[in-house]
Amino acid sequence: MSFDPDEWTESLRKEYMLVIEGFFTIPFPLLSPTYRRAIKARTKVAEALTVVVRNRRKEFETKEEKKNDMLGALLASGEQFSDEEIVDFMLALLVAGYETTSTIMTLAIKFLNETPLALAQLKEEHEQIRARSEPGAALEWTDYKSMAFSQCVVNETLRVANIIGAIFRRTTTDIDIKGYTIPKGWKVIASFRAVHLNPEYFKDARTFNPWRWQSNNNSEAVATPGNVFTPFGGGPRLCPGYELARVVLSVFLHRFVTRFSWVPAEEDKLVFFPTTRTQKRYPIILKRREESRSNMGFGITAETERRKES
């Protein structure tokens, strides 16, 4: 929507987080205060977004210069979406594109911190990328395609974390499976987590092991059939942002490991219900790394004393 962070967006974020907390609660306001708060928060967020949509629609109809963002694309699509439809879409997009991506970033840092060898290899890969470019140069597509071990880290983070733990579907016909019949019209929950953490498909399934995805070191990466690794779903409902999510996470890891070192500020625990997250949002202590170049290539000369909790 082309908004920079301010008091309004922070207020909206707090309400939005209440919506997230209500995803997997009993859908009866009298029995579940969390659900009741989520419904009220959803209404507040929708009302705030409706004002934004109406104002942008007026700008869209009167101004020649259009804002190039998702809201602008919806207004210009020619589909004649109503304000209510656009608000509903924006709410869904916040869930799909913000909550999931920020959580997977957090968990990647947590898993790497708990696996020093993986972190060291990741740093080496990204320092080599920096050594090939000019100081301060932007990443190129060829840089992204050269992040071989980073893709192993991304795959393993997606597999262990299971940000989307399951999906819901409705049967369109009677389904016979393993001696049971699922009648037409029934709702089915397909659990990604149950498959991704199944030792029949992944050795030591609950262990964060990015090397399992290296085909030259481990036959597991080759032997694992594609239909048992589905962090973005599959078929006609495959997540349309699956490649973008991988790029965003890879670029984030590049910037993070080449610019900072960190230690956990306190112990934190991974939980999977109602959504995948850490209990305390994984607070860390950051140190900015001062970088230098020499004829020998990329090097780290010192760490500043400035610390920031995040």
Which residue ranges make up the annotated binding site for heme? Answer: 239
Which residue ranges make up the annotated binding site? Answer: 239
Whether 249 and 124 have beta carbons less than 8 Å apart is answered as no
Nearest to residue 21, comparing CAs of 42, 46, 44, 38?
Answer: 38
